[in-house]
Amino acid sequence: MIQSTRPAQYGFAERWLPRLVLAPSFLLSLVFIYGFVVWNGYLSFTASSLLPRYEWVGFHQYARLFANDRWWVAVFNLFKFGVLFIGISMLVGIFLAILLDQKIRFEGFIRTVYLYPMALSFIVTGTAWKWMLNPGLGLEKLMHDWGWTSFTFDWLVNPDMSIYTVVIAAIWQSSGFVMALFLAGLRGIDDSIIKAAQIDGATLPRIYWKIILPAMRPVFFSTLMILAHIAIKSFDLVVALTGGGPGFSSDVPATYMYAMAFTRGEMGLGSASAMMMLLSVSAVIVPYLYSELRRGSR
Amino acid sequence: MANNNKWARILVYAVLIYAVIYYLLPLYVMITTSVKTTEEIRTGNLLSLPMHITLDAWRKAWGTACTGVQCTGLSLYFWNSVRMVFPAVIISTTMGAINGYILSKWKFYGSEIVFAMLMYGLYIPFQVLLLPMAQTEGYLGIAGTTPGLIFVHVVCGIASTTLFFRNYYVGIPDELINAARLDGAGFWRIFFRVVLPMSLPIVMVTFIWQFTQIWNDFLFGLVFSSGDSQPITVGLNNMANTSTSVKEYNVDMAGAIIAALPTIFVYVVAGKYFVRGLAAGAVKG
């Protein structure tokens, strides 16, 4: 019997077929993703307003963007939202994962409940939380009925606080997801390490803090990337919950871009803001992908 | 020590149950609100049980609620979403399966570059594509139509479906492919006879992932569809933001549940695959 792992001879067709079959996907993403990035980049250097006008104006649109208060409100909102959303989702998710890892009865059911919001559209989440947080009939009325008559909750209509309602709803939607990722990570850790540490007299919280959580660094990192990605893309939830308002107090870059490009007839500004989003994402993603791909090919 | 342990366990359960309530409460509020009358919403509160259960809000949300100027309810949008989601999911999953097969089992000079290109495409904020895509769809004459929307979802979905299949197929031993090749099987024969029959789990994961992503999409629906092709997310958002003299939260909640039902159904029926997809999406970077 011949034992061979050597690939059989490629025929002419076999050599070219894979390239041919991959070509449509390659072309689609080359033209409709990379080509469009270039096109959008070009637009951001033109005087385009309601319609595209391919008249070169240099960095004019970027200068306008950086002088625009609304843009900076959007950027700072994303910053506030990102830090709180990522930070709290992580804490809640990791905490719940550790608790669920203690040989809990009905674990399957509990996990299912924690994770279901992730199956919902952000529009559904936004619509639901808009009703629950609305001043008047929502949470405020509930507290009044329960006897806390001085309770007020007007964040949804308060320009200083509106972005935090988005944080509340986003944490509800995504913290269960963090829990699922960490629980999977915890299950991958060798039990014998924990047993050995217990024999050495370490307490459970100490074991988690000193041994298990440090071993979860890769999970921590990839969860961080996903949450950051969700945060930067966040558009739907803001639109459904606050509509970017009151005024533009809860705008984020994604809603800003949409408003400029599609409702305000400021295509140049819209494309410039989209480029800024792309640059910020790339600053994080490119080194990350580079290291991942290198690790993968090793 | 043992006593201490018992109290610790009770505390753990208490916190876990508290969290269960936290995650379920919004669902409870949505369901109870949707079967209340507007009168009862005004007099009761968020958590009060409905006194008279009525499906009027559901009927209105489905058939007669106003979404902007027209008052035809969400049914139209729901079917638009159905017409959009299945072609988009099937096309992108098929392309992903074949791409993943090539990028794992038929690597050629340059195929790694194609893979890296697709990977970076996963992370691009879609905002940079919106304006050129809108222009192009205008030239092509598919702007504001369901095929136009399907096209966008396919283009933007290929990267993740390819990645799912590639990562799965990497795990299939090369010896299997080589053995089939020695038996004289070619590119397609190996795919259909050897690889595809082993692919059920990853097909499920990808299908569910794409279904959830595309059904829940709002941005593309908002930008690339108009009037009679808008998906349910856009319909729901229009409905919830249409100002009426009395805000009908019961109708909004019924609408929200209608929009959520398909993905909830998928989650309940095939939760295992859904979670695997999330995890696969997680390690995509």
CB atoms within 10 A of CB A66: 12
| pLDDT tens digits, A83-129 | 999 999 999 999 999 999 888 888 889 998 998 998 899 999 999 99
Q: B75-282: which CATH topology?
A: MetI-like fold (1.10.3720)
* DSSP assignment string, chain A: -----SPPPPPHHHHHHHHHHHHHHHHHHIIIIIIHHHHHHHHTTB--SSS----B-TTHHHHHHHT-HHHHHHHHHHHHHHHHHHHHHHHHHHHHHHHHTTT-TTHHHHHHHHHGGGGS-HHHHHHHHHHHH-TTTSHHHHHHHTT-TT----GGG-TTTHHHHHHHHHHHHHHHHHHHHHHHHHHTS-HHHHHHHHHTT--HHHHIIIIIHHHTHHHHHHHHHHHHHHHHH--HHHHHHTTT-STTTT--HHHHHHIIIIIS--HHHHHHHHHHHHHHHHHHHHHHHHHHHHHHH-
Q: In this prediction, what percent of chain B has a pLDDT beyond 90? A: 43
Residue in A124, A237, A281 to test binding to B, most B beta-carbons within 10 Å:
A124
- Position A297 scores a pLDDT of 56
Q: How close is the nearest chain B Cα to the Cα of A83, in Å?
A: 19
Residue in A5, A71, A113, A127 to test binding to B, most B beta-carbons within 10 Å:
A127
Q: How close is the nearest chain A Cα to the Cα of B170, in Å?
A: 11
Chain B residues 18-37 with CB within 8 Å of chain A = 19-20, 22-24, 26-27, 29-30, 33
Residue whose entry in the numeric block shows the structure tokens 């007839």: A265
Q: Are the Cβ atoms of B285 and A222 closer than 8 angstroms? A: yes
What does the block give as tokens for B284?
Answer: 């995509």
The ipTM value here is 0.90
CB-CB neighbors (< 8 A) of A180 in chain B = 275, 278-279
Residues A243-263 have a mean pLDDT of 90
Query: Which of A248-252, A289-293, B40-44 shows the lowest mean pLDDT across its residues?
Result: A289-293
Q: Which domains does chain A have, with CATH numbers?
A: 65-297 (1.10.3720.10)
Query: Quick check: A66 pLDDT over 60?
Result: yes
CB atoms within 10 A of CB B179: 16
State the pTM of this model. Answer: 0.89
Any CB–CB contact under 8 A between A277 and chain B?
yes
CB-CB neighbors (< 8 A) of A292 in chain B = 285
HSE, side-chain direction, 13 A CA sphere, residue B146: 17
Q: Give the start-to-end residue ranges of the domains of chain B.
A: 2-54, 75-282
| Mean pLDDT over each residue of chain A, to the nearest integer | 86
**Which is higher by pLDDT, A295 or B200?**
B200
Residues A140-158 have a mean pLDDT of 82
